[in-house]
Amino acid sequence: MIDLQEISPFSYYISTFMSENLHPVFVLGVSLVIYFIPLFYLSVAITTYMGRKTAADVQMRIGPNRVGPFGIFQYVADTLKLFLKQDSVVNNRKAWLHLAGPVLSIAFTLMAFLSIPVADQWYLANQKWSLLHVYLLMVAAQLFLFFSAYTSGNVFGVLSSSRILVAIAGFSVPFLLSIFNIILVSGGSSFVEVLAIQGGAPWKWMLFSYPTTAISFFVMYCSLLIWQGAPPFDILDSEEEIFGGYSVEYSGSRKWFIEQLKSLQLILSCYLLTGLFLGGGHFPFNLETFGRGAQAIQSLFFSLKVFVLVFISYWIRWSLPRTRLNQVIFFSFKVLIPVSIVGFFLTTVWLALFNGKGIGNLL
Amino acid sequence: MSNQNMETEETYYSNYGPQGGLASGPLKLKMTLSGERVVAAEPDVGFLHRGIEKTCEKLQWVALPSLIEKVDYLSSIHGTLALSLAVEKLMKIEISPRAQAIRLIVSELNRIASHIYFLTTMAKACGAQTASQFFLRDREKINNLFEMLTGARLMYNYVCVGGVMSDITEGFIEKTHDTIKYLKPKLKEYDDLLFNNHIFTNRLKKTGILKTSDCISHYITGPNARASGFFYDVRALSPYCGYEKYKEFLERSIKPVTQSDSLDRLQQRVLEIRQSLEILSLEIDRVPAGTYKEKLSKDGKVPKGEAYSVVESSRGLFGVYVCSSGGNVAERIKLRTPSLSLLKVVPDILKGNEVSDVPGVIASLDISVSEIDR
């Protein structure tokens, strides 16, 4: 018999609202749908809207304002339009990896969300090494993008595919080093354990509780920018250099999936940073009076942090020009890696000196 | 074209363009690449050919300015100005000082507008979308001025044989003062957006080096040549329309040559915007009274003969050769456009650069495809 509480705490939470006779697999399916529909469409819609409005604000334009009040339904209109468009695929590009690439990449990116708790007990997959699982899924998602670009039969797609591999290399080492720093501090290898040592108040967040975790935050933020291929590191799909890179041969609904993927990558990055450094869904005040609704409030608090990070990311995105490929590698290997190694070393010194206590505990 | 490298490394071929955000117009580059490095690049033009020179032989003299200004739509004043100067040489007309001053003012205004548009394409080529929007915002101010003066924002049809089409409109001088006052502090903002931005400067440094000897041997003129240390400015060398007054100023304010790379060309343009603003702010108060257009004979005939005149357009030496058989229609019109000579050095400049640098280098040359194809 499947023990829901053990394998998927969120499904267990859902099952408390449902009849006890239902099969656990059905409950798992229902909770998957409940978890992913807001994530896959609603949060991406909000992110896209925020991105457009932020871009407009930075560039002193108005932004979308026609469809719906303040243009909030522009994203819906875009979705409809792109799905009604012809999905044009030239005959010599029947490679299934090219056609399935965006969807597979989205699937793996979504899988990375499974083990990140948005509130107490609100996570779909209970994994012991979820920090590394997330890393592997992120790399897998980029690899599917690599395959789809490589099989696109376009010179610029192939150029982009080699750049994707470079970006994976540039992202992996600093990202893993900053994750090891967190594992060292928290003593756990899963999001649940990392969140357990954090609290609701800002001084109990991982970002401020140890002097060296801020370095990890910086390193992880930059490496995630490289992973996403977001400005200033948007070498993967730069419009002027390689004419869209991996997305050059997509049209219609597949183009929509690519756009969806970009937003999901941004949301995943902000999820990771919120869960690891900004206290996740921990609320500063006691929420016991709300009963089972407490988690809903926590998850809303979590989303608030995520969207603040999304806003900051878009702010950066629309402020900076693009770097060159070799500059990305330079930045990753000659700036981020030394910085994170120094941070790693300083963490060990701090932990040895103060018996593993953070700033909050010492004060 | 890549035979010498074939034995040592694997290369592949790719077309760059003609569509895409490289230059202001459809420019195609046939590129041989090795990985991310450019082994050979060969420009291919002709996608915007409209047969302007041939069409000029079918139209009456009075209709030519509206056609010539479409040769380089970003600095259309200079095309019409060169044509008018040539025809005036044939007809032996002296232009009134007022018309000359107005011509100088619109010429400099157009140069500023074109250079600001260059900054826009440059920023776009380097992925700085926001910066490009800021530049376009400032170009609007000059477009507004032109709309006030000529009624059009891009194709002005303003300079004509015998002077200019219409007199300075009421309030134009005050508004020009306002625009100069608005633009001068903005140059500081340009510095912040471009030259104080390390990402921007680092990716432009040492890319697309244009040697002085290449400038001389290929007769490259304009801001590109001046950024490479080849001071060739028609305004100073053979002044027209009252540029004699500013000859010393132009010769004095030369930027010291450092690298002759894309960044230098960018800095040269910003410097020239500054120069043009200086000239404008002096000239706008010196517009003398008088007639803005000479009276010409009604039959529209140009005396028999040939003439050649050059002006300094936003991209360099712009020459117009006219040949008349004494009738209503031109016998032959030949244009000398500055961007064409640039194309000859594009293969050398691009060779050895990375694919990432290609848009930046091409944009830094400020190639106008419409004036190459014409």
Per-residue pLDDT at B1: 45
Contact assignment for A239 to B131 by CB distance below 8 Å: no
The pLDDT assigned to A325 comes to: 86
8 A C-beta contact, residue B103 and residue B173:
no
Low-confidence stretches of chain A (pLDDT < 70) are 1, 90-94, 360, 363
CA distance B309 to chain A (A): 38
Half-sphere exposure of B143 (CA within 13 A, CB side): 14
Q: Which residue of A has its CA nearest to B37?
A: A159
Q: Which residues contact A71 (CB under 8 A, 6 or more apart)?
A: A49, A52, A63, A64, A65
Complex-level ipTM: 0.82
Measure the CA–CA gap between A102 and A46, rounded to whole angstroms. 21
Contact A324 B21 (CB under 8 A): no
| Binary contact (B359, A58; C-beta < 8 A) | no
Computed from CA positions of residues B277, B280, B284, B286, in that sequence, does the dihedral angle turn out positive or negative?
positive
Binary contact (B131, A321; C-beta < 8 A): yes
Residues B325-348 have pLDDT tens digits of 888 888 888 998 888 888 888 888
What is residue A227's predicted lDDT score, i.e. its pLDDT? Answer: 92
Closest CA of chain A from B27, distance in Å: 13
Each of the 374 residues of chain B gets a pLDDT tens digit; together they read 445 545 566 888 888 878 765 666 788 888 888 888 888 888 888 888 888 888 888 888 888 888 888 888 888 899 899 999 998 888 888 888 888 888 999 999 999 999 999 998 888 888 888 888 888 888 898 999 899 888 888 888 888 888 888 888 888 889 999 999 998 888 888 888 888 888 888 888 888 888 888 888 988 888 888 888 888 888 888 888 888 888 887 778 777 777 888 888 888 888 889 889 988 888 888 888 888 888 887 777 888 888 999 998 888 899 999 998 888 888 888 998 888 888 888 888 888 888 888 888 888 888 888 888 88
Q: Tell me what pLDDT residue B23 has.
A: 61
Nearest CA in chain B to A155: B14
Chosen for mutation from B14, B37, B130 (greatest number of chain A CBs closer than 10 Å) is B130
Sign of torsion over alpha carbons B145, B146, B150, B153 = negative
Q: What is the pTM of this model?
A: 0.87
- Rounded to a whole number of angstroms, the distance from the CA of B223 to the nearest CA of chain A is 24
Contact B29, B39 (CB under 8 A): no
Q: Give the CA diameter of chain B.
A: 71
CB A324 to CB B356 under 8 A? yes
Please tell me which of the candidates B35, B131, B203 has its beta carbon nearest to residue A327: B203
CATH superfamily assigned to domain B49-373: Cytochrome-c3 Hydrogenase, chain B (1.10.645.10)
User: Is B354 an 8 Å CB contact of chain A?
Assistant: yes
Give φ, ψ of B130 to 5 degrees.
Answer: -65, -45
Contact A321 B203 (CB under 8 A): yes
- Rounded to whole angstroms, the Cα distance separating B313 from B181 reads 24
Report yes or no: B359 at the A interface, CB cutoff 8 Å: yes
Are the beta carbons of B21 and A239 separated by less than 8 Å? Answer: yes
In 3D, which of B31, B53, B35 has the Cα closest to residue B43? B31
Q: Is B135 on the interface with A (CB under 8 A)?
A: no
Residues of chain B in contact with residue A59, where contact means CB-CB under 8 angstroms, are 129-130, 133-134
Q: What is the distance in angstroms between the Cα of B11 and the nearest Cα belonging to chain A?
A: 12
Among chain A, residues having any CB pair with chain B shorter than 8 Å are 55, 58-61, 155-156, 159, 162, 231-232, 234-235, 238-243, 318-327
Q: What is the pLDDT of residue A289?
A: 79
User: Measured between CB atoms, does B197 come within 8 Å of chain A?
Assistant: yes
B365 touches chain A (CB under 8 A): no
| Structural domain spans, chain B | 49-373
- Please tell me if residue B130 touches chain A, with a CB cutoff of 8 Å: yes
Q: Is B272 part of the contact surface with chain A (CB cutoff 8 Å)? A: no
